[in-house]
Amino acid sequence: MSREEAFQAAARELGYDFNGEIRIGGNYSPLVRHRGEIHVSGQIPRVGNEVMVTGRAGADVPLARAQHASAICVMRALALLRQSLGSLEQVERILRITVYVQCTADFTQQSEVADGASDLLFRILGAAGVHSRTSVGVYQLPKNATVELDMIAATCGA
């Protein structure tokens, strides 16, 4: 299965379409490409205009739902890479993701939430998707999102 096919299969399973152009608000860019590396801005689990998973992991949001949020965030990041590079085949390696989880005071499964993103990266990109990772529990996130995820990726060629 090509990366594109794996990406589309994951999108179907999540139940969303990630093929549209991703627009952003504010005076910054969803990604910046520079000398073989791409910095992807923090992604929340938004599809179109709607944030699909909001609230606090450990309270309103059970673990499986937070993992789903994490998966949507990483699909958005991949959609941005695909849009910028033309194809996911141009991704040389995912270097790092940071996963911020809005949680309760005693929720300690931030790593398990981040697995929702890590599993997809490996499934879609194979060895190129094996990344370094940091996951932390934060107090709030933009638009009450349950998860925010940012990324640094390396691109093929220069």
Q: What number of CA atoms fall less than 13 Å from residue 62's CA on the CB side? A: 1
Cα-to-chain-centroid distance, residue 8: 15
Closer residue to its own copies (CB): 68 or 131: 131
**2 interacts with its own copies by CB under 8 A:** no
Residue 134 main-chain phi, psi, to 5 deg:
-130, 135
Closer residue to its own copies (CB): 8 or 42: 42
Interacting residue with its own copies among 8, 41, 84, 90 (CB under 8 A)? 41
Interacting residue with its own copies among 3, 110, 125, 146 (CB under 8 A)? 110
Please tell me the count of residues contacting its own copies according to CB under 8 A: 58
Q: How far is the CB of 118 from its own copies (least distance, A)?
A: 4
DSSP annotation of 106 reads T
125-153 burial, b at 16+ Cβ within 10 Å, e below that, comes to beebbebebebebeeebeeebbbbbbbbb
CB contact set of 23 (below 8 Å; sequence gap of 6+):
none
Closer residue to its own copies (CB): 79 or 103: 103
Residues 4-33 within binding reach of its own copies (CB under 8 A):
25-32
**67 interacts with its own copies by CB under 8 A:** no
**CA 140, 152, 80, 3 torsion-angle sign:** negative
Interface residues with its own copies (CB under 8 A) are 25-32, 34-36, 39-42, 92-98, 100, 102-111, 114-115, 118-119, 121-122, 130-144, 148, 150, 152, 154
